Amino acid sequence: MPAKKLNLRKRYELLTRGMGWETTYQKMDDVFPYDSFEGIKITDWDKWEDPFRLTMDAYWKFQAEKEKKLYAVIDSFAQNNGQTNLSDASYLSAIKLFITGVTPIEYAAHRGFANLGRHFRGDGARVACQMQAIDELRHQQTQVHTISHYNKHFNGLHDPFYQFDRVWYLSVPKSFAEDAMTAGPFEFITSISFAFEYVLTNLLFVPFMSGAAYNGDMATVTFGFSAQSDESRHMTLGLEIIKFMLEQHEDNLPIVQRWMDKHFWRAYRLLALVAAMQDYMLTNSPMSWKEAWDVYFVENGGALFEDLSRYGLRMPKYHELATAEAEHVSHQVWSVFCSLGNATGFHTFLPTEEKMAWLSEKYPDTFDKYYRPRFEYWAKQKEEGTFEYQKGLPQLCQICQIPMIFTEVQTDPMQISYRVTEHGGDKYHFCSDGCKDIFEHEPEKYVQAWLPVHQIFQGNCGGPTLPEVLEWYKFAPEDSGDYIGSQDHARWQEWKGADKKVKEA
Amino acid sequence: MSDKKNTVFLIVQDNEDARPIIEAVEQDNSAVNIQYQPGLVRMEAPGRLIVNRETVEEEIGREWDVQELHLVLISLAGNVDEDEDKFELSWH
Amino acid sequence: MAVIARDGYVDIVRDKVENFHGNQLVYVGWDDHLLFSAAQAFPLPPEMPYQALVSEVMASVFGDHPEFAQIDWSTVEWVLDGVSFAPDMEKSLKDNGVGHKSLIRFKTPGLTGINGTRL
């Protein structure tokens, strides 16, 4: 009879306890120099426990299995020209924004967790962070691999990582990731694992990926769900680290609460891009941004924070405003992209009559009143041939780096929300109290922000004219502008026309 | 504290591997509400939701490791309690 | 409060006025005209006459709006950095108190945007 297998708890303990030790040649504080300056007090790292208790052998086994399944789907997608089964090629604008805006964050998260996997003093936490670092690298690689198939047939997918470091709207995800990476390890993990992954990534990976399935993109839905299965583990790690910090010392509560307030707001602002993807860029949306917000933030986030209230933690500051904005942000973000569509690396398009009817139904209090008129006006101008892209460059928020497009939704939704503060004799402008608070707490950090519009004016982005800047971004002329009349559109029509002919024959 | 129990949920892929898990959840959680959305299946329940190894094994007629759940898992909400016999989600 | 960092931060103010080659940044927003989704940013010499800001700089962007040509400039209400003010068109931006990263907002009474929608 074979020896009885050790139980899960025991195997997990063997993996994560006793692998580390109290150092004697060097002081522990010198070996782990980064885990105390933030003020978080840990008295007993052994109290750390990962609820998934995933051991290394099980990790490799299950991850290998996931990869096999994913690559089988990717191969068959490519062999069967899966791209021709999309609902419409305009849908790919969402994928272009995904590969340039989200995939590089996966890579940044990989770097961040690799760093934590070295620098946390507790071995249990280190093992969890090392696994997550490998997961994040896997996500980045599988996304690049999957989407590379579209790169064979469509424009705008050629240089995501280069563009991430330069393009005006990609500074939004870049600055979010770098804010976390330049903080200490506890703040980083609160930002990425808790505020982003637990509280908010469901909004990206569940309804958006379900939307990919709804639009015939089986490749994306497969990598999305494959990544999200890791994400469930990461979310659990996020929740665990919050509980761990709060249980370890009462002095940790105000620090954790402030991080929660900050990183909820930062991650929420970043998701404004996802709101536009969900409502406008998906040809057919299974769920509106507002509906997703209600299910995954109001209901689920509410339950989560109620659970954490026993530690004294409250809902993140300005969450009520975020909920009020849920009826507005997708429309506001898509409007700014449409008005600057000659400077985006994906195609823009006005919502069709059918889409606008859906938006009216999903947003009965806001779409017809505030947003339909601008899309109809632009549609009329396009019909008459008088439409012009906006000629100037927008004012940006110093923190989230999104153009200052957000409005006073609780009092006057047609009034831009302007906030300002002074530091060191200079003015700094913000889109919201949430962003302003973040600046005022650590102004020395954010006076360094690399704001794309200002960088263009300083002469650091290829030249003063739009074509020079776009060339510096490595945007080819065929990447930008209206979907209608683009090369992508022409190719799509050619395929669909060929399809039609076959059917008719 | 009110008696109202907050929702926990488990979301899995809508595929063959997930089906016995969904059926096991349906059998072992009387209050579960199962929703089919494009590509995914969302199972939600008030306060608590459990996946029992034994029930899944009865469904598929072979040994089943609780951690195989990872292969079809998309998302979850609630505190996780996992051992070799069950995977459980709950709010405190 | 100071930044929380182990190694401290080097003192980089990325957008100090010296970095703009003699210009200063000025933001201009047209209230009740949200066809322009945000205020616009411009790098301008501080010596530029206010009149040039209006008839050249602002016209170059806001001029695409059909109501721009209808503006009666004598009735325009100006707000500089949150305070109402009456600019002297002949004087420079600097002498009008417009500084680096100042925000100028203007309201055009009677003009309520495309079909009165504040666009």
Question: What mean pLDDT, rounded, does chain A reach?
Answer: 93
How far is the CA of A225 from the CAs of A231, A232, A272, A297, in angstroms? Answer: 9, 10, 21, 19
- The complex's ipTM? 0.96
Contact at CB, C13 and A424, closer than 8 angstroms: yes
List all chains that touch chain C, counting a touch as 3 or more CB pairs closer than 8 Å: A
Among residues A105, A74, A318, A100, the alpha carbon closest in space to that of A231 is found at: A105
Q: Which amino acid is at C13?
A: V
By C-alpha distance, the chain B residue nearest A219 is B39
Candidate from B13, B77, B82 with C-beta closest to A303: B77
Chain A contacts of B13, Cβ < 8 Å? 225
CA distance A362 to A367: 8
User: Is the confidence at residue C5, as pLDDT, over 80?
Assistant: no
CATH T-level assignment (fold) for domain A12-41+48-504: Ribonucleotide Reductase, subunit A (1.10.620)
Chain A contacts of B67, Cβ < 8 Å? 52, 54, 58, 62
Specify the CATH number for the domain of residue C70: 3.10.20.560
Q: How much is the pLDDT for A204?
A: 82
**Would C79 be classed as within a structural domain?**
yes
Mean pLDDT of A328-351: 98
pLDDT digits (tens, 9 = 90+) for C75-99: 999 999 999 999 999 999 999 999 9
How far is the CA of A328 from the CAs of A298, A334, A375, A399, in angstroms? Answer: 16, 10, 14, 20
Q: How much is the pLDDT for A208?
A: 86
Contact at CB, B7 and A303, closer than 8 angstroms: yes
User: Is the confidence at residue C10, as pLDDT, over 90?
Assistant: no
Q: How much is the pLDDT for C1?
A: 47
Angle at B15 between CA B10 and CA B17, to 5 degrees: 80
CA distance B42 to A154: 34
**Would C2 be classed as within a structural domain?**
no
Structure tokens at A140: 């980045």
CB atoms within 10 A of CB A408: 15
When mean pLDDT is compared across A19-28, A343-352, C63-72, the lowest value belongs to A19-28
The total domain count for chain C is: 1
Q: Domain locations in chain B?
A: 7-90
Contact at CB, B38 and A286, closer than 8 angstroms: yes
Q: Which CATH class is domain B7-90?
A: alpha beta
Q: Is B75 on the interface with A (CB under 8 A)?
A: yes
Interface of C with A in 18-57 (CB under 8 A): 19-21, 23, 25, 27, 29, 31-32, 34-43
pLDDT digits (tens, 9 = 90+) for C41-59: 999 999 999 999 999 999 9
Interface test with C, best of A448, A451, A469 (most C CBs within 10 A): A448
Q: How much is the pLDDT for A503?
A: 64
User: Is the confidence at residue A15, as pLDDT, over 90?
Assistant: no
Interface test with A, best of B4, B5, B40 (most A CBs within 10 A): B40
Percent of chain A scoring above 90 in pLDDT = 81
Candidate from A7, A212, A232 with C-beta closest to B73: A232
Mean pLDDT of B51-64: 96
Q: How much is the pLDDT for B64?
A: 95
Candidate from C9, C60, C102 with C-beta closest to A427: C102
**Using an 8 Å Cβ cutoff, are A185 and A39 in contact?**
no
Percent of chain A scoring above 70 in pLDDT = 97
Strands (E), A201-244: none
Mean pLDDT of A176-188: 95
**Would C11 be classed as within a structural domain?**
no
CA distance A53 to A131: 12
Question: What mean pLDDT, rounded, does chain B reach?
Answer: 92
pLDDT digits (tens, 9 = 90+) for A371-405: 999 999 999 999 999 999 999 999 999 999 999 99
Mean pLDDT of B39-49: 95
User: Does residue A500 or residue A221 have the better pLDDT?
Assistant: A221
Q: What is the DSSP letter of A191?
A: I
User: Is the confidence at residue A346, as pLDDT, over 70?
Assistant: yes
Mean pLDDT of A483-503: 86
Element (H, E) at C40: strand C40-44
Residue A118 CA, distance from chain mean position: 25
CB atoms within 10 A of CB B1: 6
Q: How much is the pLDDT for A105?
A: 95
Strand order in the sheet with B86-90: B48-52, B86-90, B79-82
User: Is the confidence at residue A49, as pLDDT, over 90?
Assistant: no
